[in-house]
Structure 1
Amino acid sequence: MAQINPVKWGILGAARIADGAVIPGMINSAHATPVAIGARDLSRAQAMADRHKIARAWGSYDEVLTDPDVEAVYIALPNHLHVEWARRAAEAGKHVLIEKPGAMRADEYAALEGIDPALKVSEAFMVRNQPRWIRLREILRGDEYGAPLTFSSLLSFMMTNDQDFRQKPEWGGGAYYDLGSYTAMAARYVFDAEPRRVMALMQRNAAGIDLFTSVIMDFGDGRQATFMVSLAQASSQSIQIVCERAFITLPQAYVPSRKEPNLIQIDTSADHANSQITTLEFPALDQYEEEITNFSRAIRGEDTPYFDLQDARANAAICDAVFASAESGDWADVKGA
């Protein structure tokens, strides 16, 4: 067996997701080692470094990028800073994993044009690294159940922290940026295609963020996706796919259990009064560890799931259309589709 050469990681930002999810994933992955973390507040960076036994803490993001040991960076900053620091990281010769959404608008990705093509740069949708999501795509690309024709999803939680950056519209706050980016990506993943147009309805609060957004996506050829996302409802997370000859459900679709098996349920009954359910079970897992492992292996040139900036731009183009539709009250074309 070939010896593993772990990728040395730096972290930009002392965010909760880095502290509670991504850094533990790095530590647990045989393919990664966190070696540096930077934050605007050195004390926060040092406290996080101490908790996770990371060698170096810096009081700025630039110091992580000039650290010669750092090969790749994970950007855990508020949404409006993602592209700026992705560009700086790439200019420093680092591979980049950008927390979603990678950008607030599709045209922001122009700032990443011309970077070294040898660098891996990807938007951090950890769910695509779940073994059951990978198996789901294999199933949908096969002929057993026919083509997927409809997709529906719910994703929500109750946001109670008034100081959360998701409360600030100028920082990319709101339900769509935080949750809709996942559901739009999931629909694209299921259909393995880009939507032609979207229709969206948003309910905004006094600060201007969307607390609830409902979207219809038209993929053409009779294929439609619908999803609803909210920051002001009880916790929900589901995906349902109707194929020509099967109804497929993913319970706990986006945040799978780390203790119980994760499931794909396939109902092939042609009668509403009955069911013929086949359940596929996948071991409990840490999907952040899977994400870091796969991205690190991609950096080392291995054949592993990897989604490039073209994929990120496509997801951002849907975001642009969703906001345009919510503003106009009409269908909005997805540019580039």
Structure 2
Amino acid sequence: MATKTTKWGILSTARIGIEKVIPGLMKANGVEVVAIASRDLAGAQEAASRLGIPQAYGSYDELLADPEVEVIYNPLPNNMHVPYTMKATEAGKHVLCEKPIALDGDEASLLLDVPSDLYVMEAFMVRCHPQWQRAREIVLSGELGDILLVQSAFAYNNSDPKNIRNQLATGGGALMDIGCYPIVAARYFLEKDPVRVISLVDRDPTFGTDRLTSALLDFGGGQRAEFTVATQSVPYQRINILGTSKRLEMLIPFNAPLGGETVLRLDDGKVLGDGALETEVIPACDQYQLQGELFSRVVRGEEELPYGTGDAILNMRIIDAIFRSEATEVWETVHTSVSD
């Protein structure tokens, strides 16, 4: 039996959409990208022609008014995520919104007003990747023993003042852009939320954005997560999950190579220097394709929404607490009571 097609519209010609998300959606089973919008009609038409999208619009509101579109993918700048996600739901559309979903937890909480028959999901494509799913399966199996620590690093080098990641007013900086990933990783693997956080932040003197941010998250019961993210560093990424019996290492946890294999490494530490290392190869996939297929199944009523607005709000509240700790230089409590 053929899968029913869910029709998508793309808000903006943002690079993440053009280079990664839309190509993934075009390959996805049960997904049809029918329209793309930009504030510049020529830009939308050029992207539509290049990607094979039938309809181009010169404004976001025109796309939202298209009755054929059922799902909106929102990769607009961070300060436009909530406003246009709300506009999309007011137009009766479901929304897959890029991360971080808002500028702070209060703004994210506005999404609680979205009608219950419409779905909004934050686009953490990593949770759709088989390497993450297999890693959590190993964690939950008990093979690592009692989990003590989720340790993450994520860094790139970008000092372009025109790049939106270096613009404070629109939600730039290391914590907002990439720090949200280690937070999601810790919550995903520990299957709980932190109760308090403390941070150390270094800001670019010109941009005002955080360029080197480290945080320690206390999950209670002796479990913790620690991470460092950087925007002006040698590119690097890694996750290590330490248990009482073994550790699990993910080599490319966040920007997994499209069409390439990924590797999980297990080590019981009996021989230092990785001498007891065991590897498990995860077959190639496109995590953006898998994300599109998952959300389309949710929209069609074939699957429950795994991560809704409550999850997104809580992630923002953790980021808020990390920024508060930057200012106070002490532990800050995470407010975890969210009604979805």
TM-score range, shorter chain: over 0.9
CA distance in 1, matches of 2:299, 2:79: 26
CA distance in 1, matches of 2:273, 2:167: 47
Counterpart position of 1:195? 194
Runs of 4+ in 1 over 4 A off after TM superposition: none
User: CA 1:45 to 1:273, structure 2 compared with 1: closer, same or farther past 3 Å?
Assistant: closer
The DSSP-based 3-state class of the residue aligned with 1:149 is: strand
Counterpart position of 2:298? 298
The reply to whether residue 42 of structure 1 matches residue 41 of structure 2 is yes
The reply to whether residue 239 of structure 1 matches residue 239 of structure 2 is yes
Deviation, 1:208, is: 0.9
The reply to whether residue 80 of structure 1 matches residue 79 of structure 2 is yes
Counterpart position of 2:7? 8
Counterpart position of 2:178? 179
**Counterpart of 2:31 in structure 1: which amino acid?**
A
Counterpart position of 1:136? 135
Q: Report the identity percentage.
A: 38
The superposition leaves residues 272-310 of structure 1 with CA deviations (integer Å, 9 ceiling, x where unpaired) of 377433322111121111111111112122237731111
CA distance in 1, matches of 2:73, 2:302: 19
Q: Alpha carbon RMSD of aligned pairs, Å?
A: 1.5
CA distance in 1, matches of 2:300, 2:113: 22
**Counterpart of 1:29 in structure 2: which amino acid?**
A
Q: Which stretch of the first structure deviates more once superposed, 128-137 or 78-87?
A: 128-137
The DSSP-based 3-state class of the residue aligned with 1:173 is: coil
The DSSP-based 3-state class of the residue aligned with 2:113 is: coil
Map of 1:220-299 to 2, 5 A cutoff?
220-272=220-272, 275-299=275-299
The DSSP-based 3-state class of the residue aligned with 1:10 is: strand
The DSSP-based 3-state class of the residue aligned with 1:97 is: strand
Decide whether the 8 Å contact of 1:187 with 1:225 is kept in 2. Answer: yes
CA distance in 2, matches of 1:226, 1:314: 18
User: CA 1:171 to 1:237, structure 2 compared with 1: closer, same or farther past 3 Å?
Assistant: same
CA distance in 1, matches of 2:106, 2:274: 49
**Counterpart of 2:240 in structure 1: which amino acid?**
Q
The superposition leaves residues 7-66 of structure 1 with CA deviations (integer Å, 9 ceiling, x where unpaired) of 100011110011101110111112211111111111111111111111111111111111
**Counterpart of 1:95 in structure 2: which amino acid?**
H
Question: TM-score of the superposition, structure 2-length normalised?
Answer: 0.95
Decide whether the 8 Å contact of 2:264 with 2:280 is kept in 1. Answer: yes
**Counterpart of 1:253 in structure 2: which amino acid?**
P
Question: TM-score of the superposition, structure 1-length normalised?
Answer: 0.96
Aligned length: 336
CA distance in 2, matches of 1:304, 1:259: 27
The DSSP-based 3-state class of the residue aligned with 2:48 is: helix
CA distance in 2, matches of 1:218, 1:260: 34
The superposition leaves residues 66-100 of structure 1 with CA deviations (integer Å, 9 ceiling, x where unpaired) of 10110000001000110011111111111100000
Decide whether the 8 Å contact of 2:217 with 2:225 is kept in 1. Answer: yes
Give 5+ residue unaligned stretches, structure 1.
none
Decide whether the 8 Å contact of 1:148 with 1:190 is kept in 2. Answer: no
CA distance in 2, matches of 1:87, 1:154: 33
The reply to whether residue 314 of structure 1 matches residue 314 of structure 2 is yes
Deviation, 1:271, is: 4.9
Give 5+ residue unaligned stretches, structure 2.
none
The superposition leaves residues 223-280 of structure 1 with CA deviations (integer Å, 9 ceiling, x where unpaired) of 1111000110011010000012111000111111234421111112445377433322
The reply to whether residue 168 of structure 1 matches residue 170 of structure 2 is no
CA distance in 2, matches of 1:20, 1:324: 35
**Counterpart of 1:7 in structure 2: which amino acid?**
T
